[in-house]
């Protein structure tokens, strides 16, 4: 498999806008978008100039880690990477950051100053406004799970080119998952807390534990689980927040660097499903530190959890930037620089969790498949009032199935998984995961929430001429 050119609008990097037609790709599944112009503003005045004189529709982008059409535009794509400022206010316990700042950098800088975001997504390579844009979540029922929920103020350039500040819940509840449809966000202020550490434990069980996962998640600061149906096992990550003085410099490697050499080696046999089953077992073994295969899996990735000494450990204490989040860097060392990755992700009300498991078991019984990356991934979030959040007004379990795309074709069981969870257990598709084609096939079957209707109304007020819309907004009725 050939490594793609995963770049957006690199040839125009020195200019404010480039008028040649430009293609850019989602990094994970290599979904391609074509715009007429690209822009790299460095100041707010430059953003205003782009909106007033450039070619609409406009689409601000972050790190391009979304896989759906949410990142595409036929007009002007605005790369916000230059907006990466960082400023802490110790009096109000807030941090104000540029919208393009990467989450991993923000959490690390906060750590140096003795603060932290209470929770983050599990991948740190996303931008602040991009993460908010799709409602990117972590896994906690006790704290704010989404970046948007921690946001108390944001500044944006609106459709008419003016600058606006939003700090009232009546506005923020729409901006917290904005999908890039409301304006170009250039600055975000988030609540922060005094620095803490995370005591993480990895455990493994037979799959009979599946029924109890929702209850187990309830009492934890953070809790995640991975189900390996072919070997009938479940791995859990239990995280307790502990005093910052607790000793430990642990590191969690959910999304680690994978050496390009190993990626090239692996790409040879991966077209065979049997090899995927071997990899599924290897991933499970790596998570639980199975010594029999550790030497093999350690070639592919560093230990899943380590106290910092480079060896696997089933428990470790460390800072949230290294224990809740992980990031491959540089991008050439991320799995998706060699492999096209499909991500199928649906949010289900927690009361329907058991039904969702039964559906997945039924799909597996009819179409057996193995998952070479992280099994079936479960995370948990509390209910929210944010209009476009998948957790809108319900406690949620996020169910995710990631796999490799061979020869550009997604496996068909992925769409079956989405369709059945959406139609049978009121599933809501993750805006930034799932492919363009899956959205067009399945989203029309999804229940439209009252929150979505309110967002549509808000968007039509704030951007009456559809300056920030795209095909994805048309699909959503925005
Ligand atoms: C390896 C990996 C792990 C992931 N882990 C998680 C996870 O733990 N939890 C989770 O929920 N998701 C996860 N995701 C999905 C990812 O967090 C979301 O897709 C997120 O939105 C990507 O952020 P981004 O900076 O790449 O934004 P982009 O993908 O570039 O953009 C996302 C949206 O935000 C808008 N946007 C971006 N910047 C601006 C701006 N300045 N102003 C206005 N609109 C803007 C865009 O228009 C678009 O609508 C993961 C993705 C990958 C590849």
Given ligand 1 and candidates 99, 134, 434, which is best to mutate, with the most ligand atoms within 8 Å of its CB? 134
| pLDDT at res. 271 | 58
214 Cα–ligand 1 center, Å: 26
Cβ partners under 8 Å of residue 182, min gap 6: 156, 158, 174, 175, 458, 459, 462, 463, 468
CB 122 near ligand 1, within 6 Å: yes
Are 391 and 272 found together in one domain? yes
The tens digit of pLDDT for each residue in 72-131 reads 999 999 999 999 999 999 999 999 999 999 999 999 999 999 999 999 999 999 999 999
Residue 461 lies in a domain: no
The average confidence (pLDDT) of the chain is: 91
Are 171 and 222 found together in one domain? no
User: Is the per-residue pLDDT at 158 higher than 70?
Assistant: yes
Share of the chain above pLDDT 70, in %: 90
Are 72 and 167 found together in one domain? no
CB 63 near ligand 1, within 6 Å: yes
The crossing angle, in degrees rounded to 10, of helices 291-300 and 273-288 is 110
126 Cα–ligand 1 center, Å: 6
| pLDDT at res. 266 | 64
Question: pLDDT band at 268, cuts 50/70/90?
Answer: low
Identify each DSSP E strand in 115-157 by its residue range.
Answer: 115-116, 151-157
Are 252 and 354 found together in one domain? yes
Atom of ligand 1 nearest to the CA of 70: 49
Domain final residue pick, 158, 180, 195: 195
Domain final residue pick, 405, 421, 438: 438
CB 126 near ligand 1, within 6 Å: yes
Domain that holds residue 147: 86-195
DSSP 312-365: B-SEEEE-HHHHT-B---SGGGSGGGTS-EEEEEEEEEGGGHHHHHHHHHHHHH
CB 134 near ligand 1, within 6 Å: yes
Q: Are 147 and 132 in contact (CB under 8 A)?
A: yes
User: Is the per-residue pLDDT at 71 higher than 70?
Assistant: yes
Residue 181 lies in a domain: yes
Nearest CA to ligand 1 atom 41: 185
Are 418 and 308 found together in one domain? yes
The tens digit of pLDDT for each residue in 421-472 reads 999 999 999 999 999 999 999 999 999 999 999 999 999 999 999 999 999 9
Residue 292 lies in a domain: yes
User: Is the per-residue pLDDT at 149 higher than 90?
Assistant: yes
Are 46 and 100 found together in one domain? no
Are 109 and 20 found together in one domain? no
Cα angle 435, 274, 374 (rounded to 5 degrees) comes to 50
> Which CATH number goes with the domain that contains 20?
3.30.43
Cβ partners under 8 Å of residue 472, min gap 6: 68, 69, 70, 72, 179, 439
Looking at the structure of the chain, the number of domains it has is 3
Nearest CA to ligand 1 atom 13: 136
The tens digit of pLDDT for each residue in 306-351 reads 998 878 899 999 999 999 999 998 888 888 888 899 999 999 999 9
d(Cα 333, Cα 304) in Å, to the nearest integer? 16
Give the CA distances from residue 91 to residues 95, 250, 336, 413, in Å, rounded to whole numbers and listed in that order. 11, 30, 41, 51
Polymer length of the chain: 478
The tens digit of pLDDT for each residue in 210-261 reads 999 999 999 899 999 999 999 999 999 999 999 999 999 999 999 988 776 6
Residue 268 lies in a domain: yes
Residue 150 lies in a domain: yes
Are 185 and 204 found together in one domain? no
């Amino acid at each position: 498999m050939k490594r793609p050119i995963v770049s957006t609008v690199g040839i125009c990097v020195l200019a404010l806008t480039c008028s040649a037609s430009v293609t850019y790709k989602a990094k994970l599944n290599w979904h391609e978008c074509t715009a007429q112009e690209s822009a790299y503003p460095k100041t707010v005045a430059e953003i205003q100039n782009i909106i007033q004189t450039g070619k609409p529709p406009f689409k601000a982008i972050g790190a391009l880690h979304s896989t759906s059409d949410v990142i595409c535009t036929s007009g002007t794509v605005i790369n916000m990477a230059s907006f990466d400022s960082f400023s802490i206010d110790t009096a109000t316990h807030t941090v104000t950051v540029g919208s393009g700042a990467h989450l991993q950098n923000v959490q690390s800088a906060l750590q140096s100053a003795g603060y932290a975001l209470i929770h983050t997504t599990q991948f740190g390579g996303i931008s602040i406004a991009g993460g908010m844009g799709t409602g990117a979540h972590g896994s906690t029922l006790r704290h704010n799970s989404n970046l948007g929920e921690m946001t108390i103020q944001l500044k944006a350039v609106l459709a008419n080119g003016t600058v606006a500040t939003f700090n009232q819940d009546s506005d923020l509840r729409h901006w917290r998952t904005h999908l890039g449809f409301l304006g170009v966000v250039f600055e975000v202020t988030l609540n922060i807390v005094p620095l803490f550490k995370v005591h993480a434990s990895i455990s493994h069980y037979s799959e009979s534990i599946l029924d109890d996962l929702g209850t187990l998640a309830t009492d934890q600061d953070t809790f995640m689980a991975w189900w390996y149906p072919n070997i009938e096992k479940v791995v859990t990550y239990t995280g307790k927040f502990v005093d910052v003085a607790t000793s430990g410099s642990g590191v969690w490697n959910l999304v680690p660097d994978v050496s390009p050499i190993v990626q090239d080696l692996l790409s040879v046999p991966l077209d065979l499903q049997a090899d995927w089953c071997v990899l599924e077992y290897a991933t499970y073994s790596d998570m639980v530190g199975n010594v029999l295969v550790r030497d093999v899996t350690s070639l592919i990735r560093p230990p899943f959890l380590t106290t910092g000494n480079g060896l696997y450990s089933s428990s470790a204490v460390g800072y949230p930037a290294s224990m809740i989040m992980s990031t491959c860097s540089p991008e050439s060392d991320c799995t998706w620089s060699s492999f096209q990755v499909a991500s199928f992700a649906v949010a289900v009300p927690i009361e329907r969790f058991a039904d969702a498991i039964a559906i997945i078991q039924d799909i597996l019984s009819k179409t057996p498949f193995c998952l070479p990356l992280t099994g079936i991934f479960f995370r948990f979030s509390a209910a929210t009032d944010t209009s476009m959040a998948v957790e809108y007004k319900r406690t949620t379990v996020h169910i995710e199935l990631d796999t490799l795309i061979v020869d550009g074709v997604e496996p068909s069981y992925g769409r079956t998984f989405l369709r059945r969870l959406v139609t049978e257990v009121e599933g809501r598709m993750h805006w930034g995961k799932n492919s363009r084609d899956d959205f067009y096939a399945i989203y029309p079957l999804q229940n439209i929430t009252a929150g979505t209707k309110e967002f549509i109304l808000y968007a039509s007020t704030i951007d009456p001429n559809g300056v920030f819309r795209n095909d994805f907004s048309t699909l959503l009725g925005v």
